[in-house]
Amino acid sequence: MISADLLEILRCPACVQQSPGMLVLTHATWLVCQEAGCGRKYPIVEDIPVMLVEEGDKWVATLPDKLPVPPPPRR
């Protein structure tokens, strides 16, 4: 589980240069960017957020309620 302190400082790496890049914890295993037009979702694998833009890009088309729980392991 991600601590509240860590969640408070994490930002979407794709958005943070132009906007706040706020993330919301979803299903306790995903961080979802709240910026309009972004839609990136970052998995939390073994309690570690995978904050790579290319990882977030993989899930742009997936609605938050359709995200797999738990997230698939990274390859």
pLDDT tens digits along 10-65: 999 999 999 999 999 999 999 999 999 999 999 999 999 999 999 999 999 999 99
Domain that holds residue 12: 4-66
Whether residue 2 has pLDDT greater than 90: no
The CATH number of whichever domain residue 26 belongs to comes to 2.20.25
In a domain, 75, yes or no: no
In a domain, 71, yes or no: no
Output the pLDDT for position 74: 73
In a domain, 72, yes or no: no
Is residue 74 exposed (0-12), middle (13-18) or buried (19+ Cβ within 10 Å)?
exposed
Output the pLDDT for position 56: 97
Output the pLDDT for position 9: 95
Provide the number of structural domains found in the chain: 1
In the numeric block, the tokens 């979802």 are attached to: 32
Phi (first) and psi of residue 6, to 5 degrees: -65, -45
